[in-house]
Structure 1
Amino acid sequence: MSTEQNQAQNQAKDQTTAENPWPVRTVARKIGDWIHRLGAVWVEGQVTQISARPGTQTAFLTLRDPSADVSMTVTAPMRLVRAIEPPLREGASVVVFAKPTFFLGRGTISLRASEIRSIGIGELLARIERLRRLLEAEGLFAPERKRRLPFLPKGIGLITGRASAAEHDVLVNAHNRWPAAPIQVINTAVQGPTAVPQIRKALSILDADPGVDVIVIARGGGSVEDLLPFSDEALCRAVSAARTPVVSAIGHEPDTPLLDHVADLRCSTPTDAGKRVVPDVKEETARVHQMRDRARRALHGWVDTQCRLLDQLRSRPVLADPLGPIGRRRDDVELHRERGRRAMLNTLSHEQAAVASARARLTALGPAATMARGYTVVQYPDAAGNLQVLRSISEVADGTPLRVRVVDGAVHAVAQTVEPGE
């Protein structure tokens, strides 16, 4: 039998059908075979649960990714856990060298640890510094990205720990300054492995609420490990992507997690945040009264100025006797109208005399007066049929039609004989 035939038979055996299913033990064994082929890996995470019962040889840990909702179970020899200094506690960041293991009886996967190392403060600070440089290079800290807080927000979102001093400080100071300030509080974990997912979820809820104009993330002071969630990369990017302005009020004045650089406004303490998000009603009331007084004084000053101006205008002669100038101007108009009438009559008289003189000269020089004394005007048609005045006998011949114009009409005749003059 050839190799290809053997492979075909093995593949046929591995295939399952409804009539030929695999037992659970077979499936578990095959999964275990695949997992056991994996080698040991270094894993970094945050310890969320420790189960180390006295008298047992194995400790059970739950290792969680601080930036995602993913966790795995880790088993380790009890001696390995007890040898860690300082003692391992929940919320600590560790690096584990472990091999994936599949427990056939329960059908579960866990990591079998052979070495556990706590991440020290120096390493945590170095990682935060590397992340700070990365976010700064991407422009998340740029001042031009910062948004101004609204003068009087219609809604304030507060993310903080339940019944914490930070919550009390923000609420008391905000309500002391503006009693009607509406504040929506969402309580979350502010330290430990569940802090980042809960804060991000609360941030997304408040950011999607159209009634919230500003979001405050507040927490009291703490150690570097306690403030680690506020230097988480996922949380910093979520704050940077939020559409609503975010105020960071983490710890005390010396505490500067990365969230302070990404937020639109950094407050040194939660008390400072309560004072920065709303105006002081007493100061604003005093400012309104001050502006009202200034407006009243300005209006009174303007009215006084206009009254003085009206008094000055009223005292002028043109307003004291408004009809006097009109009467004087009326006399001037009558005088000029009479002068104009006389000038027009003189001009008409001169022109009429000139017309009469021209008419007399025209009458004396015109043909009508000559014809009245017995003279006539003889016309003949030229080649184009137009009448021309006859000035010489050479212009007509025998039989030429003639038009003889007299003082009271015209006579048509025909030339019969042309006689030259002496």
Structure 2
Amino acid sequence: MALTSTPEQPLPVRTVSRAVGDWVHRLGRVWVEGQVTQLVRRPGMGTVFLTLRDPVADVSLRVTCSRAVCDAVGPALVDGARVVVWGKPSFHPGRGTLALAVVEIRPLGAGALLARLEQLKATLAAEGLFAASRKRRPPFLPAAVGLITGRASAAERDVVENARRRWPAVRIVLREVAVQGPLAVSQVIDALRELDGRTEVEVIVIARGGGSLEDLLPFSDEALLRAVVAARTPVVSAIGHEQDAPLLDFVADVRASTPTDAAKRVVPDVGEQTAAVAQLR
């Protein structure tokens, strides 16, 4: 039943808060999938706190559970882990906050993760986001190359050193970000949008070294993939090794097998070009 109020007869905070709590209570227990962040286990406390982040939207939900529920998961319960939880939403009137009181947590294994990635891959392919017709070729000699990669990483070194070896005057606009864990997706998206807004940046390389399926999950995140599709600047995917295939490879304008290969694809070799000019003369 909707609450009735007027400017002359407003409702007390406690009445509105109690009504919100009643509505939330009717939801009952639900299964929820998300990514664990801000996991807090305080010594001596029987309650564990964490935040469950939606991997696609910028939405999160506070979660509480008993230490026994948390311990039953074991070492798999860490920041960045994908999990499915069973819990009941609850509203705390005193603080005006919503939380999920969880009684079971199940980590998503590699099989479940792969199945979800295949489902997302099929969805994006059906939308035409993998089509060759929508992909753009980077310029022959870009005024500046945007590079999004991990801080002081081997991937950064491989791209920068090989690009400068091929064309010493190349300009690299570097953005260092987290490339795994719960902060990776948002930081990569922010860096992508910032570089995409710079007119001198004519191609953007997203690079990191190899890793496990879980390590590379940010580069199959739907929000990141759609941000790449929306970018006006050509994007090169250079994630992992030859055998790694995050979904970023399919939506990017160019797929490089390694960070070193990315440098070769976006920067011409000055020696080869000089020899070609000499031959034409």
TM > 0.5 between the two? yes
Following superposition, the deviation at residue 277 of structure 1 comes to 0.9
Q: 1:173, 1:29 → 2: CA distance?
A: 63
Indicate whether 1:203 and 2:192 are aligned: yes
Could you say which residue in structure 1 is the equivalent of 2:24? 35
Equivalent of 2:67 in 78, 82, 93: 78
Question: 1: CA distance between counterparts of 2:229 and 2:96?
Answer: 42
Counting matched residue pairs gives 281
Quote how far apart the aligned CAs of 1:21 are: 4.7
Matched, 1:229 2:218: yes
Q: Paired residue for 1:173, among 153, 162, 169?
A: 162
| Structure 2: distance between partners of 1:246 and 1:87 | 33
Query: What CA distance in whole angstroms lies between the structure 2 residues aligned with 1:17 and 1:133?
Result: 52
Query: Which of the numbers 186, 205, 217 marks the counterpart of 2:206?
Result: 217
Q: Which residue of 2 aligns with 1:15?
A: 5
Matched residue, 1:105: 94
Paired residues of 2:30 and 2:87 also in contact (CA < 8 A): yes
User: 1 CA distance for matches of 2:234 and 2:47?
Assistant: 49
Which structure carries more helix by proportion?
Answer: 1
The structure 1 residue matched to 2:112, chosen from 107, 116, 123, is 123
What TM-score, normalized to structure 2? 0.93
Is the 8 Å Cα contact of residues 45 and 65 (structure 1) preserved in structure 2? Answer: yes
1:248 matched residue in structure 2: 237
Corresponding residue to 1:152 among 138, 141, 149? 141
Q: Is the 8 A contact 2:39 2:79 kept in 1?
A: yes
Aligned partner of 1:49 in structure 2 is 38
Shift of 1:160: 1.1
Cα distance, 1:30–1:182 mapped onto 2, change above 3 Å? same
More strand by share: 2
Match of 1:366 in 2: none
Structure 2 spans left out of the alignment, 5+ residues: none
The offset of 1:194, in angstroms, is: 2.2
SS in 2 for 1:226: helix
Mapping for residues 364-403 of structure 1, pairs under 5 Å: none
1:345-373: CA deviation from partner (whole Å, max 9, x where unpaired): xxxxxxxxxxxxxxxxxxxxxxxxxxxxx
Paired residue secondary structure (1:213):
strand
Q: Distance in 1 between matches of 2:220 and 2:212?
A: 13
Q: Is this contact kept in 2: 1:66–1:194, CA < 8 A?
A: no
2:269 paired with 1:280 = yes
1:81 CA displacement = 0.4
Q: Which residue of 2 aligns with 1:260?
A: 249
In structure 1, the gaps of 5 or more residues are 1-6, 293-422
Counterpart of 1:128, as a letter, is L
Residue 122 of structure 1 and its aligned partner are, at CA, apart by 0.3
* AA in 2 matched with 1:248: S
Shift of 1:153: 0.7
Structure 1 residue 23, shift from structure 2 partner: 3.9
Is the Cα–Cα contact under 8 Å of residues 67 and 197 in structure 1 kept in the other structure?
no
Q: Could you say which structure has the larger radius of gyration? A: 1
Note if contact 2:76-2:107 (Cα within 8 Å) is conserved in structure 1: no
Alignment-mate amino acid for residue 15 of structure 1:
S
Q: Which amino acid aligns with 1:146?
A: K
SS in 1 for 2:32: strand
Matches within 5 A, 1:292-331: 292=281
Q: Which structure has more RCO (C-alpha within 8 Å, separation ≥ 6)? A: 2
Give 1:70 deviation, angstroms.
1.2
The amino acid of 2:105's aligned partner reads I
Contact 1:96 1:113 (C-alpha < 8 Å) held by counterparts: yes
